[in-house]
Structure formats: C-alpha cells, structure tokens
Amino acid sequence: MARIAYDDKTAAAFKAVREVPRAGLDRWREAVRRHLRPMPGMTVADIGAGTGVFATAVLIRQAFPGRSEGVEIARWFPETARTADTFPSLEHTCQAFAAAGFSRDAIEQVPETYQTSLAEFLARADTYRRATTVMRDLTDEEFLRGKERLRRAAQDAEESPSPEPRINWLDLLVLR
C-alpha cells in the first residue's frame, strides 16, 4: 500500500509541514483511549501514523476515499481528491487486515487543530507539496490555483477580528 518512498528529504519535508504538533495530539489520544483502553504492559502497533507519534495505540489515521469532506487540503486543492480516491478504501483496508486476524471495531473522524495560520500554511505550500502524496500528483496549474485560493483565504483571515482555527478531520480506524 506504500505510495511514497520516505528518504531523508521527504522525511524532513513531512516533519516540517505534516507532523501533528504534540499540543494537537490530545484529541487523537482521547479517541484512541476511548476505543482501545490501553493498559500497562499492553503491546500496541503504530500503523500509518506518519512520523510515529502514536506509540500508545493500534490505529490507522487516514482520510479514506469518499470520506474527505473535512480534510483541509481538499478545501484549497480540491483536485487532490483525484489521487486520494485511488487509495485503499475503508472496506479494502479492513479486508487486508482481516487476513491477519483483525476486525473493524470503530471508525470516527477526529479533528486536528493547527496552531499555524493560513498565511503560514501558504508560505509552506511548496514544501507541503513535496511531503504529501496527493499534492505531488497535482499539475502545476492545479497547484497554482490552489495556492491562489489559499492566498485569498489567508488574506480574509488576516482581516478578520477572530479568524477560524485551522481544523483538519481525519479518520481513525480501530482494528482489534
């Protein structure tokens, strides 16, 4: 299922723009605890959690095809759905893990709140493109159109007395 080779350059780009800040992990930890109720001495697998910050849960953190309505990147770069829709579906993923004895226990969307502004996100858009599979597949024209949408939204946010926080919703698939 791998879609990207994580060499040092890609890993650095991922860490710069995609790693969930430690302060933003509270909701994920809460969601994982709700489903797994980990106990001392329990062995846990960290599956597909990016840089591996989830060391206390078995989970798949992903926006599955057809479930990207709350994914922030799709708001500015809607063409990313074209690539995201080629990823393994929720059903396919569950079937793949069923072969190893796991079954679907829960699926829920978990919000990630980012501390950075839209302007900061825009400033890192080129790095983000190098770090994200769905962004790599955009044409240059699609990427520039998305950056323009993001630029306008960042400008509107800067003019707002209370800009909305950046929130990204991803699925948490729990398999036991």
Domain contains 2: no
Q: Tell me the pLDDT tens digit for each residue of 83-94.
A: 989 989 999 999
Band the pLDDT of 8: cuts 50, 70, 90: confident
The answer to whether residue 67 sits within a structural domain is: yes
Structural domain range at position 103: 8-159+166-175
Structure tokens at 155: 């400008």
Q: Phi then psi for 68, rounded to 5 degrees?
A: -105, 15
User: 114-147, pLDDT tens digit by residue?
Assistant: 888 999 999 999 998 988 888 999 999 999 999 9
The answer to whether residue 21 is domain-embedded is yes
SS (H, E, C) 40-103: CCCCCCCECCCCCCCCCCCCEEECCCCCCCCCHHHHHCCCHHHHHCCCCCHHHHHHHHHCCCCC
pLDDT tens, residue by residue, 62-75:
889 988 889 999 99
CA 49 – CA 58 distance, rounded (Å)? 10
Question: Is position 3 within any domain?
Answer: no
Q: In this structure, is residue 1 part of a structural domain?
A: no
Report d(CA 12, CA 24) in Å as an integer: 19
Tokens 């994580």 sit at which residue? 6
What span, in angstroms and rounded, lies between the C-alpha atoms of 84 and 67?
10
For the chain, the domain total comes to 1
